[in-house]
Amino acid sequence: MANALSYALLLVAARTLSTPEYGELSSLLGLLLVSTVPLLALQTVSARRVATETGADGLVRGTAVIAAVTAAALLTSSPALGAFLHLSSVLGIALVAATVPANAVLGTAMGVAQGQRRFGSLAALTLAATGGRSAGGLVGLFAGHSPDATLTGILAGTAIAAFIAAGGGRGSARHRIALRRRAPSGMFAETLHAGHALGAFLLLTSMDVLLARHILSSSEAGAYALGSVITRGALWLPQSAISLMFASLSETTRHHRTARSAVAVVLTLGSAVVLGSAALGHVVVGVVGGSKYHQLDGVIWLFALLGSLLSLVQLAILAGLAQRRTGRVALLWGTIVIDLAIVLGIGHVSEPGQLVTTLAAIAAGAAAVALWLSLRRPAPAHRFAAEAEVSTI
């Protein structure tokens, strides 16, 4: 339902705004997606702290500090971002920055529900966050028929959802503390690392489309973009299962058993998507893109394979964050560097099938490492210290 609401805003905007205005809104929505990385990081850190009952009393103050720093960074860089995105003003970027505090509140609230294994509340908060953003955006779009009006609506809808999330939640008072508290909690450092890891993963998952846009013709890049829809579907399909298991992954005594179960779920779902795409390639391409994309019929399963392999990498990263293991981000940056070096170094990739084959082969190596990291019996994780941070995988 949340994904459907997100797509609804894009579809209605495409039919309501002019092409230049839609391009401007798309770029600002892309910036909004980047600005939600702190939300994802706060959700991850909050879920781990609540599940393990360690340091939960720093959540509110940590959320406030991280939200303020992120919003300030966006506002400070708005002139440069406006020039890069070819925007006539920085108002849209300022509106994106203004959504950061509300998104931070929602991220922490979702993390608390996830850590407490209150999955009904987690689902409701997820739907409220996405629904508030999309419904507000649609109201702003219909009222103002402009990108800035749409973002104003998104800001209002997100703020309402955050207000509801902050005021509700069974047991939330247990994890609430006055903002005046000065005791160090390590919240900022832990969230910074989680944001780094999740941001690098989002970059890795976007790398294929960026490379396609760079090395393929516009028509071939468009065909690859269609195939990437299947990649995204295979990648995010296991996300809900991983969310359900995250609290157990955070507990040292249950981590190994839960990780094996999570690997089994991800492998099962990935295998089903790949085999289904291979057997019904013509149908899948026709449903997703129509007859003009049937050049992908024979290779669409490779797009599904790429997404399924990346989902294994995602599991390893989230399992590492659950145990505060800081070294696994190296797997992400190593894969990104190899993608760039090999694809740009080959120089003769001219078809979507060639590009996705190359990227899937690289992802297979990363997935093998991810499987080893997920299934091995880990040594006790090092804790963050105020003086120094020890990295471990």
pLDDT confidence of residue 76: 92
**What is the reported pLDDT for 390?**
40
pLDDT at residue 255 in the model: 82
Sign of CA dihedral 314, 245, 242, 197: negative
As a whole number of angstroms, the distance between CA 191 and CA 184 comes to 14
> Tokens at residue 28, please?
């600002």
Q: Please list the rounded mean pLDDT of every run of 10 residues in the chain (393 residues).
A: 76 77 78 83 85 71 84 90 81 92 89 87 87 90 91 93 76 43 62 86 85 78 79 86 83 84 92 92 80 81 94 91 84 93 79 89 95 76 41 53
What pLDDT sits at residue 385?
40
Q: Give the tokens for residue 266.
A: 């991800």
Per-position DSSP letters for 206-267, written without gaps between them: HHHHHHHHHHS-HHHHHHHHHHHHHHHHHHHTTHHHHHHHHHHHHSHHHHHHHHHHHHHHHH
pLDDT of residue 155: 94
Alpha carbon 332 to chain centroid distance? Answer: 14
Contact assessment for residue 212 and residue 225, using Cβ atoms and an 8 Å cutoff: yes
Distance CA(329)–CA(201), nearest Å, equals 8
**pLDDT value for 347:** 65
- Confidence (pTM): 0.76
Give the other-Cβ count within 10 Å of 328's Cβ. 23
CA-nearest of 278, 321, 291, 168 to 223 is: 291
Closest CA to 231 of 259, 250, 208, 264: 208
CA distance 311 to 269: 10
Structure tokens at 258: 């839960």
- pLDDT value for 179: 38
pLDDT of 56 reads: 60
What is the reported pLDDT for 184?
Answer: 47
Among residues 5, 342, 9, 327, the alpha carbon closest in space to that of 147 is found at 9
Question: CA-to-CA distance for 156 and 134, rounded, in angstroms?
Answer: 10
**Per-residue pLDDT at 332:** 94
Q: Name the residue type at position 228.
A: S
